[in-house]
A and B are shown apart, each in its own frame.
Chain A
Amino acid sequence: MEFLGLYNYWVFAVLLMTGLYAVMSKANLIKKLIGMSIFQSAVFLLYITMSKVEGGTAPILQPDAVDQLYSNPLPQVLILTAIVVGIATLSLGLAIVVRISEVYGTIEEDEIRELDGE
């Protein structure tokens, strides 16, 4: 079971690079944005994995519990706000994609580049 202690970090590595792969190799702009949000979620997973304390519980203090361990609240705060910022930036990206689609009639990166070249 010892090796499972690092499993979440491996999932983080694979997700991070899956997202990066989509951003780099996909021509479709919406696909790129989806890749970006996978990348983002991978970072969220990294932070929350670090916040966990063995035998701990969610950082909501219980007055009558003695010697209760709590997980680290700080990474949770950072990620909590980052998720909502993530949806805001995703929407901004989607709005730009929508405008691009209206002007160029396509959301494929290479077709847009061809149209620009003429």
Chain B
Amino acid sequence: MITLFGVFVSTLLVITAIGMVRSQNLFGAVMLTGLFSLQMAVIFFILDAADVALTEAAVGAGVATVLLLSALALTSDEEARRRRRRWVAMTVVSATTLMVIYATFDQPRLGDPEAPVHQHVAPWYLAETPRLIDVPNVVTAVLASFRGYDTLGELFVIFTAGIGVMFILADGREKGRLSLLPSPDAQGLRHHLVPRVVGRLLVPFIVLFGLYVQFHADFGPGGGFQAGALISAGMILYALLEGESAALRAVSFQALAGMIAGGAFLFVAVGVAGMMLGGHFLDYSVLSSDPVVGQHLGIFLVELGVGITVTGVLLTIFHALSARVQRS
């Protein structure tokens, strides 16, 4: 039954994707991206990837849609209609699709426990996590501890993207400071009663859930990446309802810049602290006299750093785009 449901949702996913590509109206296409992400999250959940589903729902359906809409407000929401020679692209794409589908016949079936991917390190992670790290959520253990280097790298990619957006969208004419601030008369949806009342009710719960996901990552699905996306989605909703200047009064632009750098710094600092105490970089076992307690402490701090940076970057990007919308 669940297999059939999966097949149904993934068929819908393909239809949605084709709709996104075909739609001349970009506003419609962006709305479909939200739907696409939500369907993707359902499929991830069916495939046992609770953490990934949570991230996809928060990022794809929440933040990405808003960012795309801000970009549409700054450009145009109608795609120019023109005849182009599409048959080359069509031929390449169809031929490649058939080749990839042909190649899938050598793939192990869905859920095959003998598949090569399940033979290498994954059984070791599952078997050794209780002894070495002692947290129930193996995804968090692998993300923050076993593969801490990887996560640090990803965090710096996000950090760099945030800085890149700030540089590209900041107004160079005003010397000495980045002007990303919105005009003070930005009203948001303040004059619309129903979204304002309902939305304001939602904001604290979204942020609270984000904090829960942040601090409960050892035991259930969650972690810094998901929490960062959820908290920024909550703050973006607040900014849409009350206007960006109200949101910037709550969390100022300087605070956001500090969060971007501070979270990444916290991650590196935990790694360096391990070295200072005689271990390797990002080896949390030496942080406390009991290695398992040290691991808990390290994972907690590292996830906190990830959460802070992700929140800072996503909110900065949102404010940078929406400040442009108001000035144009």
Name which of B48, B67, B96, B104 has the most chain A CB atoms within 10 A of its CB: B48
- Interface residue from B18, B29, B64, B70 paired with A87 (Cβ < 8 Å): B64
| 8 A Cβ contacts from A42-76 to B | 44-45, 48-63, 69-76
A7 to B47, CA, bound (A): 13
The answer to whether A6 and B105 have CB atoms under 8 Å apart is yes
Residue of A nearest to B167 (CB): A95
The majority secondary structure among interface residues of chain B is helix
Verify A13–B68 contact, CB threshold 8 A. Answer: no
B126 interface hit (Cβ, 8 Å): yes
Q: Is B130 an interface residue (CB 8 A)?
A: yes
Interface size on A, residues (CB 8 A): 88
Closest to A98 in B: B74
CB pair A38–B21 under 8 Å, yes or no, is yes
B228 interface residue (CB < 8 Å to A): yes
* CB proximity of B52 to chain A, nearest CB, Å: 5
Q: Indicate which residue in A17, A18, A88 contacts B313 across the interface (CB closer than 8 Å).
A: A88
Taking a contact as CB atoms under 8 Å apart, the answer to whether A99 and B126 are in contact is no
A83 and B52 form a contact (CB under 8 A):
yes
Q: How many residues of B contact A (CB 8 A)?
A: 105
B40 touches A45 (CB 8 A): yes
* Contacting residue for B117 out of A61, A72, A86, A108, CB 8 A: A72
Cβ of B266 within 8 Å of any chain A Cβ, yes or no, is no
User: Which residues, 49 to 93 on B, are CB-close (under 8 Å) to A?
Assistant: 49-52, 55-56, 59-60, 63-64, 67-68, 70-72, 74-76, 79-80, 82, 84, 86, 89-90, 92-93
- List the 9 closest A-B pairs by CB distance, nearest first: A5-B109, A54-B111, A88-B161, A71-B48, A25-B89, A9-B104, A13-B100, A81-B154, A94-B71
Residues of B within 8 A of A (CB): 3, 6-7, 10-11, 13-14, 17-18, 20-21, 26, 29-30, 33, 36-37, 40, 43-44, 47-52, 55-56, 59-60, 63-64, 67-68, 70-72, 74-76, 79-80, 82, 84, 86, 89-90, 92-94, 96-97, 100-101, 104-105, 107, 109-113, 115, 117-118, 121-122, 125-126, 129-130, 136-139, 142-143, 147, 150-151, 154, 157-158, 161-162, 164-165, 168-169, 219-221, 223, 225-226, 228-229, 310, 313-314, 317, 320-321, 324, 328
